[in-house]
Chains A and B, each alone.
Chain A
Amino acid sequence: MSAVFEVSHLSKAFGGLKVNSDISLAMNEGERLALIGPNGAGKTTFVNLVTGRIPPSAGSVHLAGEDITSLGAVKRVRRGLVRTFQVTRLFPDMTPEEHVVMTILQRLGRATRILARFHGDSAATDEAAEILATLGLTEVARRKVATIAYGQQRLLEIAISLAQRPKVLLLDEPAAGVPSSDTPRIEEALARLPASLAVLMIEHDMDLVFRFAKRVVVLAAGEVIFQGLPAEVAKDPKVREAYLGSYAHAGG
């Protein structure tokens, strides 16, 4: 089976500083992969390279067999490479329903129509209601995002990405900033992501990584130092060294 998402020898240097060097990884349909690494490992740069925010110094990115290395950020999204944000990026004055409806309208090519009523598209509204219901957001669907809990905002980020129907989903620390009482709801939402979807999770929370991912990639000082099963990552001496022991016991 060919990979739906493939990063080959991706590198980025700012001046003489190599922030990402020679990163390669591949994902199949339905795969659950986690990218971890200590602070300053180059995770954010990696996300920016993959999503097309910044151009790489070398290497390539393929999505569903197509070389998307030279495509801009918007084109990559349209091809099916979708991301969530580490710090939620939502419209505070809009409701969750409006966020999801706008996303669906964009997917259907109707997002920038002038001669239509935003709230009059019943197909989009019905689908939005369905998505919001699966994430338990029905109750807050018509409240301004600024007034709903942060955990619910994180769930809304996931709702939006689902409405985009991606081929590959990049979750940038989906549980960051969420109080621990709310993390089970996030985890539940992640567990129910479509089975065929390839999901790459960038995460700090080791417990979450070990429960979610079937495979782990460890990044340190801009290089991949480990690729393998979650159970083996904590035993790897290079990983232990990179984390200076701070996470070395987390998997045990």
Chain B
Amino acid sequence: MPMTASASRTVGRDLLGLALIALVGLAGYWLFPDNLAFLTRVISVALLVLSLDLIVGYCGVASLGQGALYGAGAYAAGIACVHGITDPVLLILIGAGAGAIMGLLMGAIMLRAHGLPQLVLSIAIVQLLHEAANKASSITGGSDGLSGMSPAPLFGVFEFDLWGRSAYLFGLGLLLIVFAVLRFVTRSPFGMVCRGLKEDPLRISALGIYAFPVLLKMFVISGTVAGMGGALAAIATQVVGLDSVSFEVSANALVMLVLGGIGHLYGALIGTVIFMALEHVVAAINPFHWMTLVGAVLIAIVLFAPRGLSGTLDELARMLTRDRWRAGR
């Protein structure tokens, strides 16, 4: 069977990738024990950017409203926690469910349009939700934010303490699971059809495949992932603010994705880490002009590495290993 060799090769590569993420994550745990709250936020945003990659990178649907899905997860988990559901795993699942439902709604609306109107719809949806969360302050806490959450210890053992160790390791575990599942999803027949839809929707319909249900399914998956990211943020910070369902968080997610490189999941992680690390460091030095530097870096990336950081790394790796690859053929 010609496929088994290449299949085991891709599985091997995936395991290597997961091991690398785990290694980097644990290195962060040992190296920056005082910054675990920040690192947990990085993981929760990484889930958001991963979810955006599913829509933008795999389906070619541009969205500036991904915060709607993230915020839905954050508020759902937050509200559930305030009302006595405190098991963190259950809260993540509640966030996932809320994100999935919001993904279904958002997809059903956005997929009626194409191109620019679609992008405008995505912005409108996140702005609407932002306003709704603001107005329904009796449930969401409005502009003061939702507080008063106290999640139970993870698996009944690990407390969510002030240092954020449990929250970080919980987040890292969640990220690894989600990443592994998404690698599988993007390699499924469904994932390939999504890639096809991005490249040429007319060809897909000429194969006898309806685009709408496929894209809607991806919106639901994307919502699930983004919702888990939001729920993680809610559990870790024990507060949910209006900024979690905002245009700004949506736009930043897109910037991180472009920075890292779209359409191969790793780019989402790299982009998130670089963007947020840059923000963290530069904002500490100069809180007023950090965005200027981020802007300059972004322009440089678009000009010199249009496939994003991960795409460029990929190319470099290919250049370095080309001879070996040829010999192996």
Contact = CB atoms under 8 A, between A and B. Distances in A.
Interface of A: 73-74, 77-78, 82-83, 85, 89-94, 98, 102-103, 105-107, 110-122, 125, 129, 160, 164
A111 B209 contact: yes
Nearest to A73: B205
Interface string B147-167: 000000000000000000000
B131 interface: no
Counting chain A CB atoms within 10 Å of each CB, the highest count among B10, B184, B193 belongs to: B193
5 contacts: A74-B205, A85-B203, A89-B203, A102-B189, A122-B3
A86 to B, nearest CB: 12
Interface in B168-225: 184-185, 187-193, 195-196, 199-200, 202-203, 205-210, 213-214, 217
In the complex, the 6 A-B pairs of residues with the closest C-beta atoms, listed nearest first: A77-B208, A89-B203, A91-B199, A114-B190, A78-B208, A118-B192
A119 B199 contact: no
Given A74-B209, A77-B206, A77-B207, 4 more contacts: A73-B206, A74-B205, A83-B206, A89-B203
Given A89-B202, A91-B199, A91-B200, A106 B209 contact: yes
B206 A114 contact: no
Given A91-B203, A112-B213, A122 B188 contact: no
B116 interface: no
Given A90-B200, A91-B199, A122-B1, A111 B205 contact: no
A112 B3 contact: no
Contact of B7 (A94, A113, A119): A119
B6 interface: yes
Nearest to A98: B192
B199 A93 contact: yes
B191 A92 contact: no
Contacts of A102: 189, 192-193, 196, 207
Contact of B189 (A77, A78, A85, A112): A112
Nearest to A77: B208
B187 A93 contact: no
Nearest to B197: A91
A107 B214 CA distance: 16
Counting chain A CB atoms within 10 Å of each CB, the highest count among B185, B188, B191, B207 belongs to: B207
B189 A164 contact: no
Contact of A118 (B191, B205, B208): B191
A103 B207 contact: yes
B199 A85 contact: no
Given A114-B190, A116-B189, A85 B7 contact: no
Contact of A113 (B3, B188, B200, B206): B188
